[in-house]
Amino acid sequence: MSHIRPTPKQYMILGLVALGAPLGDTCLSRGMTSLPPISLAHPLSLVSAVFTPWIGAGIVLLIGFFASYLTALSWADLTYVLPATAFGNVIVALFARFWLHETISWQRWAGIVLITVGVGFVTQGPSLTERPQRVSEAPEGVSRGASEGRAQ
């Protein structure tokens, strides 16, 4: 089985997928906690929150994440890209430990190790399921199912 491996540029996009979501969420959280409590009776105050620096930065980062995520999905399988998004949790935990000096319990360290091993494991395999060029162009008798059977 030949392995379809990402190029260095594609690894960079996967890195952006992993970094964009946790950094964006952290900015949103930082921005929302610094605001006074927002009541559902005044929903327009949510709109004004969008224009505060932390929330604005969070939105920009999340747009960057979504663009990188869509790009990654255009050349890699969903089951290959998703562990990369979960790796963001590890990055947040490491930020919390080494930047914010929070204490990390042994369960969290175990979680970090498991996610890292899981992501490392999936990245060693092919990023995309091999398929025939086009089902309609395939010779008679060669079905999609047959190619999947071979790929397993």
Partner 1 sequence: MTPVHPAAAGMIAAVVLTSTAGEVLTAAAMKSVGDLDEIRARSGMKGAIRAVVSCPTFFAGVFFLALSFFSLLFALNHLSLSFAAPASASLTLITNAIAGKIFLHENVDRRRWLSAGLVCVGVYLLAH
Interface residues with partner 1 (CB under 8 A) are: 9-10, 70-71, 73-75, 77-83, 86, 89-90, 93, 105, 107-108, 110-119, 121-122, 124-126, 129-131, 144, 148, 151-152
Distance CA 19, CA 86 (A): 10
Closer of 98 and 121 to partner 1 (Cβ): 121
One-letter identity of residue 48: S
The CB-of-107 to partner 1 minimum distance in angstroms stands at 5
Measured between alpha carbons, how far is residue 58 from residues 2, 28, 48, 69, 95 in Å? 40, 5, 14, 16, 16
The CB-of-87 to partner 1 minimum distance in angstroms stands at 8
Residues 6+ apart with CB under 8 A from 67: none
Closer of 48 and 135 to partner 1 (Cβ): 135
The CB-of-96 to partner 1 minimum distance in angstroms stands at 11
